[in-house]
Amino acid sequence: MDLPTIDENLSTPKSVQIFNWYEHRISSGELETGQKLPSIRTLASSTGTSTTTVKRALDSLQNSGYLEKDENGKLEVATSYAASQTQQARWQAFWSYAHEDERNTHGAVSQLMQRICDEFAATTSEPLGIFQDAKDIPWGSNWRQVIEKNVTTTVFFIPILTPTYLHRPNCISEFSAAITNLSEAGISNGIFPIVFIDISTALRGFTNKQLKQYIEEHQYIDCTALRRIDPDSTEYKFKVGEIVDTMVSLQDQLNKNQDKLDSQTETEALSENDGYLEQVQMLEDSVPVIQSVSLGLCNDLDLIGSAFKKSSEKMNVKTKGSPATAAKILACRQLANEIKSPVENFNKHCNEFVEGVHRFDAGISALPKLIDLSSEESDRVQAATSLNNMIDGMQGSSKPMFSVLRVFRETLDKVKDISRDLRPVLASLQESCEVILELEPIFDSWSSIKVNSQ
């Protein structure tokens, strides 16, 4: 079988050249149904690319219906391929936004994204690959892991800046990760901020110094008028055209960035092949982290709860001289200042807890496989009992926490709009609660890993 070739003079990313090579030969019938493909390492060696680049192309071919796996897991030309009518996007962009903005603007954020995609395709005759969590994360998937993976494999990060965005830990985490990953990969022009709602006031009180400096020092496109005008208006279309023209001007740089990122992530991709022992070590390392951070989360909530209780008592005291409403506004302002630090700590502990749980989740599936390798039945029974007890312990300790957080989240939803000063602090706290509650299905899934210890 002939092997793909790479033209170094083309600006097209190497993964796309491999995709196009196979797409053409399968569509034309040159490669027949059932014909086996060489191994990834063989293709990487013959094309002078990384295994990550080859895997990216083969995954796209499989997703498009050109390839399938046989009973032994080997790739072959699909029996009845469904040739996709759309081209593979040259590079992947990440659309980072606050979900509240999507709701509050009645879909204007997604509408802007779609208009940009349409204009890009019309201008370049090529698709624009944009990752958007609302449409690209399958139901039931671990959304945080999917987002983290896509943030680290994108060459173009588009944050939709609004006051709400600047108050959301998830958004800030995505933005910070993009800056770090693109910088480490040596990628320039990879971040493309769009100001969708004026952030000048919110930026003055923004506590993340790194992002604040980045936003202030880098150019961005002002789209604050778009949410109030007709998408079919000349003004709206002109602004979308301005955005796309800027993207097109960066195309050559972005194509180089894609190849650079492919090479940089090869080592990271290989690390996914850790053995059972390395996976179990990751699990063991995560347990003390989870336990320590859990205590930190509880302490943070105790401090926040105590502050709320004291403030509530103040609000219930009848005031003399000054209007009762003015006194309550002052009490809310004082409460916002008082809980600011514990809320920031809670958000920090939230991120550490999520990371610890994901590390635990990644390692626990290896334990049953190690147990199966035990030569002595007594060792197997002991290890199985230990595994089951560990799962029972993690699930048992988590249930009260999830229950408390659900009640706490509902309470926050009721009181967060009681005061302008409290709103951003409580909204941030509520989002962190939701992030932790998203982990509950992961805890529940561990029941399926238990081993019969009889």
Eight-class DSSP state of 160: E
Residue type, 152: T
Q: Give dist(CA 73, CA 322) in Å, integer.
A: 76
What does each C-alpha distance from 187 to 159, 372, 377 come to in angstroms? 17, 45, 54
Determine phi and psi for 323, rounding to 5 degrees.
-60, 140
Considering the domain architecture, whether residues 107 and 162 belong to the same structural domain is answered as yes
Mode of pairing for the β-strands spanning 92-96 and 67-69: unpaired
What does each C-alpha distance from 29 to 20, 67, 119, 253, 361 come to in angstroms? 14, 13, 34, 35, 44
Give how many domains the chain has, as a whole number: 3
Considering the domain architecture, whether residues 302 and 413 belong to the same structural domain is answered as yes
Terminal-to-terminal C-alpha distance of the chain: 52
Considering the domain architecture, whether residues 259 and 207 belong to the same structural domain is answered as yes
Q: What does the angle CA 366 – CA 293 – CA 395 come to, to the nearest 5 degrees? A: 50
Last residue of a domain, one of 217, 247, 270: 270
Q: Which of 100, 103, 61, 97 is nearest to 82 (CA)?
A: 61
Considering the domain architecture, whether residues 258 and 232 belong to the same structural domain is answered as yes
Is 398 inside any structural domain?
yes
Q: Which of 294, 452, 283 is nearest to 367 (CA)?
A: 283
Is 84 inside any structural domain?
no
Considering the domain architecture, whether residues 342 and 234 belong to the same structural domain is answered as no
Last residue of a domain, one of 238, 255, 270: 270
CATH of the domain at 252: 3.40.50.10140
Q: Which of 275, 272, 271, 445 is nearest to 361 (CA)?
A: 445
Per-residue pLDDT of the chain (454 residues; tens, 9 = 90+): 578 888 877 656 777 788 888 887 887 777 888 888 888 878 888 888 777 778 878 877 877 678 888 777 788 888 755 444 344 555 567 888 988 898 888 889 988 998 998 898 888 877 777 777 544 444 333 434 444 444 444 567 889 999 999 988 878 888 887 787 777 656 666 788 999 999 999 988 888 887 888 888 877 789 999 988 998 899 999 999 988 888 777 665 556 555 555 555 544 443 445 677 877 888 888 888 888 888 888 888 889 989 988 888 777 755 454 557 888 888 888 998 999 889 888 888 887 888 788 778 877 877 887 787 776 788 788 888 888 888 888 888 888 888 888 888 888 888 878 888 888 888 888 878 887 887 888 888 888 888 776 6
Residue 96 CA, chain-centre distance (Å), reads 9
Is 304 inside any structural domain?
yes
Considering the domain architecture, whether residues 262 and 278 belong to the same structural domain is answered as no
0.75 exceeded by pTM: no
**Kind and range of the H or E run holding 161:** strand 156-161
Considering the domain architecture, whether residues 124 and 233 belong to the same structural domain is answered as yes
Last residue of a domain, one of 249, 270, 291: 270
Tell me if residue 131 falls in helix, strand or coil: strand
Is 115 inside any structural domain?
yes
- In order, the DSSP letters of 35-104 are PBPPPHHHHHHHHT--HHHHHHHHHHHHHTTSEEE-TTS-EEE-TT----SSPPPSSEEEEE--HHHHHH
Considering the domain architecture, whether residues 182 and 323 belong to the same structural domain is answered as no
Is 397 inside any structural domain?
yes
Is 137 inside any structural domain?
yes
Q: Which domain holds residue 56?
A: 14-77
Considering the domain architecture, whether residues 70 and 158 belong to the same structural domain is answered as no
Considering the domain architecture, whether residues 329 and 382 belong to the same structural domain is answered as yes
Considering the domain architecture, whether residues 149 and 56 belong to the same structural domain is answered as no
Is 247 inside any structural domain?
yes
CATH of the domain at 68: 1.10.10.10
Considering the domain architecture, whether residues 28 and 97 belong to the same structural domain is answered as no
